[in-house]
Chains A and B, each alone.
Chain A
Amino acid sequence: MTSTPAMIETDKLSVSVPSGRWLPFGKTPTLDILVEVSIALRVGEIVCMVGESGSGKTTFGRALVGLVKPSAGRIALDGVALPDFTSRSFRRVRSQSALLFQDPVTSFNPRQRIGSIIAEPRHITHAGSTKREDIVGLARKAGLAEQFLSRFPHALSGGQARRAAVARALSVVPRLIIADEPTAGLDVSVQGGVLNLFLDIRDEFRTTFLVITHNLSVARHIADRIVILYLGRVVESGPAEEIFRNPQHPYTKALLDSEPVPDPAHRREEPPVIGEVPSLAARPKGCEFHTRCRFAQDRCRTEAPIKTDVSPDHQVACHFPLAATKAASIPNLRLVSR
């Protein structure tokens, strides 16, 4: 996989917003939503970005296409860096990418029919035909039957709306699809269909995916690589299979263990991590996870950890990464045999 070229990559991408408290002199204080995130999305790869709410995962997806303006860092498309972060520069990224928003229904115009919603990107970009039979073909590719094209968005179920959003995204044959919580609010009986669709699109068009999710069991099935964010920083990233088998960061471990196991014989005695994500306005000193980490030591409270390589493709930012043996002794996301 390492030999595959990066489709889009970020280098120390940061996003800061003014925090609202205006001071008469000196600099306006800012909130750092994303701090120096460096990720490469390779061609045809599905990368899952995982973290609690407030970790900046949605902001990263939006910053990639310029919906949120980055404050520092670099974005490179096919190895060529964007000269600046103006809307004009992002046009190059946007023409090749599609965004699937968290709530598909609210991302549709309620007074437009599904067929015309799906055709709209083609109307705008003059890329591809907007003939009815071609739009039907697009919808069918996303698993949406022809009868739904004449409906309005409110008349679709959650799964159908999600498919309509995918059909709209496919209409311009994007090279990059950014999917924000694609399975949120879907029943388990249909979420598999949406995820299978992603895998099919990837196989057919070699599309690159950035899937933003907080559901680790979803990530486990579709991700090639996983990036774990905490307070806007990447704390661990690596191949999905390795992250699940051998998590190095205590936060990754806590996330994996928090997922409830559908087996009444394996109930947890204690929650794996207690407390909440600290406020961005008052970031903890040292390692930002030390306030909730059960392995925290004095060094964690004073010194920020730097990223180290566990294996060539697996990085972790922790002073005391969980050794392979220690991680194995704590029960992980167990598979129930039946």
Chain B
Amino acid sequence: MSAATGAATSISADAVSPVLEMKGLSVCYSGLVPAVAGVDFKVNPGEVVGVIGESGSGKSTLAHAVLGLLPKSANVTGERFVLDGHDMLTAGRDDYAALRGPAAAMVFQNPMTAFSPLHTLGRQLTDLLWRDRHQSAAEKRERIIAVLSQVGLPDPASKLDAYPFQFSGGMLQRVAIAAALLMRPSLLIADEPTTALDVTMEAQILHLMRELRKTSGVAILMISHHLGVIAEICDRVAVMYAGRVVEEGTVREIFANPRHPYTRALFACEPALIESGVSRLPVILGEVPRPGGCGCSFAGRCSLVEERCHCDSPPWVGVADRAEPHFSRCHRSAP
């Protein structure tokens, strides 16, 4: 942690401030192509927030922006972008490097490609602790073994000399989660962590993430296109479409009472929610448009489209009659 403090400008570090806060955040590729257009987003300490959307909705770009993993051609702009008390809008390469690990760490979709095939897991995990020069090799080893047993890897000490190919996908994903937790981050970003796994392993990994959140209090940003996964572990969910958050609220509220037509269409397509015996499965026709442009980005595919949807940007309004927080970006949900 010591390396990180002072690396980027400290803004505020009291307990109640969010781990991640974005206001009007936009990401443009090559200065022309927007991928994320004006996102307001927040993750509080110890909270599990889900981001859901189709491919091309900008959810991965958002996650990569947090860790500074975007290619050089990407340009991040916005009003406010704070990670763990550090202003990321002014952060340079070194600041990002210092925050990766202590502030936020990431678990990727494919555990098989997350590790180097040439080195043992023990070596790769030890390398992650390069900042802690005051610790001896034996202490680091102890730390690694502790984290590996925390993620439920049987007999962790013997696994340190093993190579990634000797593990199954599920086990490697556990090791990847351990690697992310090794630096005790405040925020764990999981980008489709179970998509490459079998359903049985998916259930176990989700269970593990829920336990970790309980025991270590880490906040989790869960990116997925699978509604079941989001329902299983998230507290809050943001629905992204064409680079914007179109609906946000507590997971119970969004799943019980989706307001935005896109969210509703997404729910209608989920095979697990469709009664058996339906002969034709619903689809959302058309494709996700490029972010930006005027009017509502979902207007081209929306079944409830009106004239104003094509020309005016819809307002971000709270759904008034609900007890739990719930916001939607739709003309029709505006009062």
Which residues on A are within 8 Å of B, measured CB to CB? 52-53, 157-158, 187-193, 195-196, 199, 214-218, 220-221, 241, 244, 254-255, 257-265, 267-268, 270-274, 276-277, 333, 335-336, 338
Interface of A is mostly: loop
Which residues on B are within 8 Å of A, measured CB to CB? 54-55, 168-171, 198-204, 206-207, 225-234, 251-252, 255-256, 265-267, 269-276, 278-284, 287
Given A188, A258, A265, A336, which contacts B200 in the complex, CB threshold below 8 Å? A258
Least Cβ–Cβ distance between B322 and chain A, in angstroms? 15
Least Cβ–Cβ distance between A299 and chain B, in angstroms? 24
Closest to B235 in A: A264
Known: A157-B287, A196-B283. A262 touches B273 (CB 8 A): yes
| B199 lies within 8 A of A255 (CB) | yes
Kindly state the separation between the CA atoms of A258 and B225 in the bound complex, as whole angstroms.
17
| A273 lies within 8 A of B200 (CB) | yes
List the B side residues contacting A188 at CB < 8 Å.
Answer: 225, 227, 266, 269-271
List the A side residues contacting B274 at CB < 8 Å.
Answer: 221
| B225 lies within 8 A of A216 (CB) | no
Kindly state the separation between the CA atoms of A271 and B199 in the bound complex, as whole angstroms.
10
Other than the given A189-B284, A260-B202, A264-B231, 8 more pairs (CB < 8 A) read A52-B201, A190-B284, A199-B279, A259-B272, A264-B234, A267-B232, A271-B207, A272-B203
Kindly state the separation between the CA atoms of A218 and B226 in the bound complex, as whole angstroms.
13
| A53 lies within 8 A of B231 (CB) | no
| B281 lies within 8 A of A241 (CB) | no
List the B side residues contacting A220 at CB < 8 Å.
Answer: 271, 276
Given B204, B255, B270, B283, which contacts A264 in the complex, CB threshold below 8 Å? B255
Kindly state the separation between the CA atoms of A52 and B228 in the bound complex, as whole angstroms.
18
Which among B198, B225, B229 has the greatest number of chain A C-beta atoms within 10 A? B198
| B202 lies within 8 A of A258 (CB) | yes
Kindly state the separation between the CA atoms of A241 and B54 in the bound complex, as whole angstroms.
30
Kindly state the separation between the CA atoms of A259 and B270 in the bound complex, as whole angstroms.
12
| B198 lies within 8 A of A52 (CB) | yes
Kindly state the separation between the CA atoms of A252 and B111 in the bound complex, as whole angstroms.
26
Query: When A and B form their complex, which 9 residue pairs have the shortest distance between CB atoms, in order from nearest?
Result: A260-B228, A192-B281, A189-B284, A217-B271, A262-B227, A258-B199, A271-B203, A217-B272, A52-B198
List the A side residues contacting B170 at CB < 8 Å.
Answer: 276
